[in-house]
A = this chain, B = another copy of it.
Amino acid sequence: MTNAPLSQDSTLSIAPPAAEEDCCALHRRRHAAGEDPRKRDQIIAGAWRVFMEQGFDAASMNSICKAAGVSKGTLYVYFQDKEELFIETIREKRLALFQELREKLRGPGTPAEQLSAYGVGVAKLLTSEEAIRAQRMVIGMVERMPELGLRFYEFGARRFLGDLCAWFEAEAQAGRLKVNDPLLAAQQFIELSSVGFWRKRLFGQQPNPPSPEEIRRCVQEAVRVFMAAYGC
């Protein structure tokens, strides 16, 4: 039923680009039930807004309909039930959030510079308003929907750790870093990069994302500490 035609996983755009419109118009005048990607995105966008503000249980399907601008019937054509809607909403959000980050390690500069760029990316991402909201919801639902937590972690944190890990191994082999346990090092670096911010944000302690300057400073210190321990 689910995530049909989101080819690039990045367009949450509600106003569809004209080009695609034309293309569709050419091939078929009307979408099959539950198959119009534009409508699906519209529902997900509304659901996201409501879930984000009220959480899974407090969000009523009625509010979601209103927020999405579709009728209940339509909503239930696209998603079997509230749970599926939630899971899919989180999935789309996760995809949208995690898309951009992964290339930073391939950038130019010294290891410290590359690390720094990556650290800033991670810190910015993890503490962005949307990511925090998504993570809060997922964490809050882990007991009742364990799969959701697994997937979220798997496709978020795990992936970054993998990238970073591989990069550490390469750097170590090239003799530019001294890393025995690259996974541990990767985890350490990620924790250091968002030091304090993530936790604070999760608990609502800091209502707004940290400023770029705060992040920069934090990551700079993270790199300093990290290089002190692992640099040659």
Contacts and interface: CB of A to CB of B under 8 A. Distances in A.
Interface of A: 52-58, 133, 135-144, 146, 149-150, 152-154, 157, 181, 184, 187-188, 191-192, 195-196, 199-200, 202-205, 218, 221-222, 224-226, 228-230
A156 B97 CA distance: 29
B188 A157 contact: no
Contact of A142 (B58, B136, B143, B146): B136
Number of copies: 4
Which 4 pairs across A and B sit closest by C-beta, in order of nearness? A140-B140, A57-B57, A149-B204, A191-B191
B191 A149 contact: no
Given A195-B191, A229-B229, A203 B141 contact: no
11 contacts: A54-B143, A55-B140, A55-B144, A139-B202, A142-B203, A142-B204, A149-B204, A157-B203, A181-B221, A187-B195, A228-B229
Tell me which of A58, A140, A229 has the highest count of chain B C-beta atoms within 10 A of its own C-beta.
Answer: A140
A169 to B, nearest CB: 17
Contacts of A137: 140
A153 B203 CA distance: 6
A44 to B, nearest CB: 19
Contacts of A54: 143-144
